[in-house]
Amino acid sequence: MLMLLGTFSFVGLKITGPDMRQTGLNYFNQIHLADMTVTSAYGLNQADQKTIADQARVKTVNYGYFTDAKIKGITNGIRVFSNSGSLSQYKVVAGRLAKTDTEIALNNTLKGTYHLGETITLQDGTGLAKTKFKVVGFVESAEFINHNDFGQTSVGTGQLSGFGVTTKRAFSLTEYNLARISYRDTAKLNAYSNAYTKLMNKRQATLLKDLNQHRAAKYQAAKASLSTALINQDTNALDAASVDATLTLV
C-alpha cells in the first residue's frame, strides 16, 4: 500500500508541472499576451516608436499609458493603465471594461474592498486628466501573476495594492509611455522553453541598445523644458511681487 501511494504521488507530481504550464500557455494565447513590454518615464516619442517598429520580426505594437496613483482613503497606490487593445487583454471577472474617461475597472483582488457603481477618487496620479472614476468592472491580467505583490511605486506607502484599467482619453500625457510588442516567430514557441527565453533576451538587449541612442536627445529636450518652466515660474513670481508691491503702495 505504501508503494502504491508513493507511486500515485510520484505520478501526480510528475504530471502537475506540465499540466500547469499548458494551462498557462492556453491562458496566454487566449489573451494574446505580449512578448515584450517597454516603459519609459520620459515617454516614447516618434523616434522611439520608429525604432520599435524597425525591429526584426515585429508583428504588432500596442501603445498606451500608465501611471501610479493613490485611491483616496487608502495608503497604498494602484497602477492605472489605459486599455491594452489587442495585446495582453484583460479578463473581465465582473462587470465590464471602461468605455468613458470617467470609468475604471479594478483588479479582481480589490472586489471585496470596492463594488460596482462606486465612485473612487485618485490622487497623485501624474498624467491623469480625471480624478473621479466610477467602478464598472473587475478584471484579471496575466501581467500580474502574483496577486500578493504588484510591485513598488513612488506614491502612498511605496507599495502597489493593485491596478486599474481606464480609457486612453482619461490621460493627459502628450506621449505614450508604454508599448506592448508581439513577434511573428514566437507563436509556435513554448513560452516556458529555453529557446523562447534565449530569443527574447537577445531581442530585449538589441531593442534596449537601439532605444538608448535617443537618450541624449531626450535628456536635452527634458532639460530645456525644465529650464523654460523655471523661467516662467520666476517670471510669474516677479509679476506677483510687482502686483503685491503696487497693492501695498496704494
Task: Decide if 100 contacts 167 (C-beta within 8 A).
Answer: yes
Instruction: Kindly report, residue by residue over 99-131, the tens digit of the pLDDT.
Output: 999 999 999 999 989 999 999 999 998 999 999
How many angstroms separate the CA atoms of 43 and 49, rounded? 10
Type and span of the H or E element at 165: strand 160-166
Phi and psi dihedrals of 219, rounded to 5?
-65, -45
CA angle 181, 184, 190 (to 5 degrees): 90
**Confidence band for 92, pLDDT divided at 50, 70 and 90:** very high
Query: Bridge partners of 162?
Result: 78
CA distance 250 to 248: 5
Which three-class secondary structure state does DSSP give residue 80?
strand
Residues linked to residue 79 through DSSP beta bridges, in sequence order:
68, 163
Domain edges within the chain:
29-185
Alpha-carbon torsion (217, 218, 220, 224), positive or negative: positive
Q: Name the residue type at position 34.
A: A
C-alpha cell at 164: 486599474
Q: Tell me if residue 10 falls in helix, strand or coil.
A: helix
Average pLDDT over every residue of 49-62 = 95
pLDDT tens digits along 157-212? 888 999 999 999 999 999 999 999 999 999 888 888 999 999 999 999 999 999 99
Helix (H, G, I), strand (E, B) or coil at 13: helix
Asked if 211 and 55 touch (Cβ cutoff 8 Å), the reply is no
